[in-house]
């Protein structure tokens, strides 16, 4: 394994670099290309989509399918054929050829008592639901008078009982909870103190798997004997449930609570030790904590104080990776004294197993930060993270992109030069560029008005808190992140309420309109970020005729608008709901965009940046100002970013946005800030890049220049390179 890729001098440099990637490096731009679709039906019988309480997102979570073509939500009123007496009903809306169609969790009539429990989990495509209920009417084979889990096909009558008891007199209120399922819900895993197999140890909470109509015990030890102390899924209360069950259901990770040992159950037939020592002479066994696994379950990440490999030479808490295919262990956090002192937890990992974000202390053990292990080396993401609340385990709000290249998280620490004054802000880390940016910090340095928020990580129900639900607050490729804030980050935000925002490739855009008199919250997104779901009371579509809270989709995949339905539409007759589209307002405008001011995308837009000659670079060296002139074939916004690299550290010196004039030309002047000037003044080779992006073109233009002596001299030795794509 490679040595840790940072040293004390690097820490000083990194602190300075992250301090430069401030809100000033985040420019505002328009949400060109997105259209609004009303997802929840126009007629909700006077009720709301339940999402918020006391001005913060509550635990009635919205779940999007990875494709963005279906989304689940909860309402306090019956509609779309739901039971009249029901309360807190779970619905699923699907995009069809005729628009969005909404159905309740199950179409069959059932008692209002059972319907008070929202769905605990779904299959990835939201076609199957797992529900906890106490009413035996849901299925005749359920244990009367006790809590049971049921599986249903969304929108179809009938339930399958998952918690089939084999012993008499089950407890009325057992220690029962849903753990997770395979992507298609053909494998459902739950914990219960009631016994469900003849071999389950009595008097403890055991872990079970339902599959193919049968229940089998998960907490079986490698010698095929049941774990006498029972088991908890994943890392239990101190760890995490993230990816405890693999996507195909073949791998289930669990911990035995009496000794804290981690195991993986394979295909219901074999158990392997995960946290077992692989030293030639093992030390005294110590408890380990499971944090997460890759989505396919091929790699698991956990922490342990025990020296599990001969290469681990200290007694601190280290991070390990276990590979299921060959049973190998890998020490990720070095194993020698003097680097990372203690690993406190894991935030998440990329799907390919080559990257994992974690929280640890450095050197003196007092400074806590976020770090990334990637491809065998470790880099700092946020050198300080000490007052940021929940960072791992149930309830965490931080999210890692599927490819591992991006991380979005909330923190009260000043991780850039912007002074958040103790308010929680949203930060985005780009692992490819090794740059951290504050997405929710105002670019003008204005004092924060409130903390920004990400969706909560747990779902609430009448029976307590269900397991962690991980919204796509960041796209799979790490390029887009989503959050909510009351801060007015762009000119188009003219209210003083919470609004949903997007940060994409360094540009901050509104998702909600910024004009509602009530809060609008980001809820979830498709895996690629093309569909962004948010809630609002504002009427953003002509089909929306009330002031109740609705669920909307700000989509990049919009279709032509449909006619407004007739006034006779009511109740289930409104299904499927019309798919009326309204353009997302452009920034700086107080009215929604219309077809007259929308960009013309019938021809692929192009843009260019005027070449900077030797004289221009000399002026840059003398004044610290770089003038860029751009032209494009259509209307839109330019974003220019000035980056300076010296001794391996990259500094964002300035970033600015400009809109096109009528003659399709725009000018941006970038200024080198004080810290970047100090970098340029050092001896050695310094690389300067001006990266220019256009709002409707994916690929940027980059102007490059190499400085081989200190800036401030009369001439620069290296000439400019030609602009390149």
* Residue 169, CA atoms < 13 Å, CB-side half-sphere: 1
Asked whether the beta carbons of 485 and 450 are under 8 A apart, the reply is yes
Asked whether the beta carbons of 418 and 438 are under 8 A apart, the reply is yes
Whole-number pLDDT of residue 537: 92
Tokens for 599, please give them: 């960009």
CA distances from 250 to 91, 181, 253 (A): 29, 10, 10
pLDDT tens for 172-182 read 678 888 889 99
Going by C-alpha positions, the residue among 192, 259, 197 that lies closest to residue 226 is: 197
Whole-number pLDDT of residue 274: 97
User: How do 99-104 and 89-96 pair as beta strands?
Assistant: antiparallel
Going by C-alpha positions, the residue among 188, 218, 214, 176 that lies closest to residue 200 is: 218
Whole-number pLDDT of residue 366: 65
Instruction: List strands edge to edge, sheet with 214-217.
Output: 177-181, 187-192, 206-211, 214-217
Asked whether the beta carbons of 170 and 176 are under 8 A apart, the reply is no
Domain ranges of the chain: 202-389, 607-707
pTM: 0.73
The CATH number that domain 607-707 falls under is: 2.60.40.10
Asked whether the beta carbons of 192 and 202 are under 8 A apart, the reply is no
Whole-number pLDDT of residue 613: 80
Domain 202-389 has CATH 2.40.128: yes
pLDDT tens for 444-487 read 778 888 889 888 766 544 444 455 567 889 999 999 999 999 99
Asked whether the beta carbons of 453 and 467 are under 8 A apart, the reply is no
Whole-number pLDDT of residue 97: 82
User: How do 27-28 and 507-510 pair as beta strands?
Assistant: parallel
CA distances from 228 to 11, 56, 206, 503, 551 (A): 47, 43, 9, 50, 47
Q: Is the peptide bond before 576 cis (omega within 30 degrees of 0)?
A: yes
Whole-number pLDDT of residue 594: 27
Whole-number pLDDT of residue 429: 92
Low-confidence ranges of the chain (pLDDT < 70): 1-33, 52-59, 83-87, 106-118, 135-137, 165-169, 172, 237-238, 335-340, 363-366, 385-395, 457-469, 558-605, 633-636, 646-651, 660-664, 673-685, 695-699, 707-725
Helix/strand/coil for 475:
coil
Phi, psi (degrees; rounded to nearest 5) at 348: 175, 170
Whole-number pLDDT of residue 113: 41
């Amino acid at each position: 394994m490679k040595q840790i890729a940072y040293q004390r001098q690097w820490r000083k440099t990194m602190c300075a670099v992250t301090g430069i990637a401030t809100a000033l490096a985040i420019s505002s731009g328009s949400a060109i290309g997105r259209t609004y679709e009303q997802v929840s039906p126009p007629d909700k019988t006077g009720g709301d989509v339940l999402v918020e309480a006391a001005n913060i997102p509550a635990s009635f979570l919205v779940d999007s399918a990875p494709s963005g073509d279906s989304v689940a939500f909860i309402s306090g009123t019956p509609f779309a054929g739901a039971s009249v007496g029901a309360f807190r009903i779970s619905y699923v809306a699907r995009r069809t050829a005729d628009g969005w169609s909404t159905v309740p969790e199950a179409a069959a009539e059932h008692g209002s008592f059972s319907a008070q429990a929202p769905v605990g989990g779904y299959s990835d495509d939201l076609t199957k639901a797992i529900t906890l209920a106490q009413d035996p009417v849901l299925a005749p084979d359920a244990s009367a008078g006790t809590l049971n889990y049921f599986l249903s096909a969304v929108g179809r009558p009938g339930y399958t009982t998952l918690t089939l008891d084999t012993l008499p007199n089950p407890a009325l209120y057992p220690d029962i909870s849903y753990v997770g399922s395979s992507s298609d819900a053909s494998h459902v895993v739950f914990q219960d103190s009631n016994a469900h197999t003849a071999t389950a140890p009595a008097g403890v909470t055991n872990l079970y798997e339902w599959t193919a109509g049968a229940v089998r015990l998960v907490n079986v030890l490698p010698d095929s004997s049941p774990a006498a102390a029972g088991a908890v899924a994943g890392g239990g209360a101190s760890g995490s449930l993230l990816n405890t069950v693999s996507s195909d259901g073949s791998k289930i990770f669990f911990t035995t609570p009496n000794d804290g040992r981690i195991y993986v159950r394979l295909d219901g037939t074999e158990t392997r030790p995960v946290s077992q020592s692989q030293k030639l002479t093992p030390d005294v066994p110590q408890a380990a904590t499971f944090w997460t696994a890759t989505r396919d379950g091929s790699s698991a990440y956990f922490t342990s104080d025990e020296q599990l490999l001969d290469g681990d030479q200290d007694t601190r808490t280290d991070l390990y990776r276990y590979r299921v295919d060959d049973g190998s262990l890998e020490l990720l956090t070095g194993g020698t004294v003097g680097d990372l002192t203690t690993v406190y937890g894991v935030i998440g990992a990329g799907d390919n197993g080559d990257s994992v974000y974690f929280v640890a202390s450095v050197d003196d053990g007092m400074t806590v930060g976020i770090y990334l292990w990637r491809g065998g080396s470790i880099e700092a993401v946020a050198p300080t993270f000490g007052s940021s609340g929940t960072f791992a385990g149930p309830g965490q709000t931080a999210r890692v992109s599927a490819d591992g290249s991006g991380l979005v998280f909330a923190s009260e620490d000043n991780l850039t030069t912007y002074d958040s004054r103790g308010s929680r802000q949203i930060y985005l880390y780009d692992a490819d560029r090794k740059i951290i940016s504050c997405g929710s910090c105002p670019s003008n340095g204005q004092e924060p008005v409130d903390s920004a928020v990400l969706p909560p990580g747990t779902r609430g129900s009448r029976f307590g808190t269900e397991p962690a639900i991980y919204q796509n607050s960041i796209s799979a490729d790490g390029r887009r992140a989503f959050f909510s804030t009351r801060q007015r980050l762009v000119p188009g935000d003219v209210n003083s309420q919470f609004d949903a925002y997007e940060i994409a490739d360094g540009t901050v855009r509104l998702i909600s309109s910024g004009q509602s008199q009530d809060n609008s919250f980001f809820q979830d997104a498709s895996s690629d970020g093309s569909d962004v779901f948010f809630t609002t009371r504002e009427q953003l579509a002509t089909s929306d005729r009330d002031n109740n809270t609705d669920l909307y989709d700000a989509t990049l995949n919009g279709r032509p608008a449909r006619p407004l339905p007739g006034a006779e539409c009511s109740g289930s007759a409104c299904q499927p709901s019309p798919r009326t589209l309204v353009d997302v307002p452009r920034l700086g405008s107080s009215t929604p965009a219309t077809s007259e001011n929308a960009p013309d995308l019938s021809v692929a837009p192009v843009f260019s940046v005027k070449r900077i000659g030797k004289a221009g670079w000399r002026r840059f060296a003398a004044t610290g100002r770089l003038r860029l002139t751009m032209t494009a074939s259509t209307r839109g916004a330019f974003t220019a970013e000035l980056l300076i690299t010296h001794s391996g550290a990259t500094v964002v010196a300035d970033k600015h946005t400009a809109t096109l004039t009528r003659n399709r030309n725009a000018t941006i002047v970038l200024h080198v800030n004080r810290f970047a000037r100090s970098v340029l003044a050092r001896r050695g080779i310094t690389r300067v890049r001006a990266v220019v992006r256009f709002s409707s073109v994916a690929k940027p233009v980059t102007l490059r220049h190499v400085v081989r002596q200190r800036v401030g001299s009369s001439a620069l030795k290296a000439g400019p390179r030609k602009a390149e794509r």
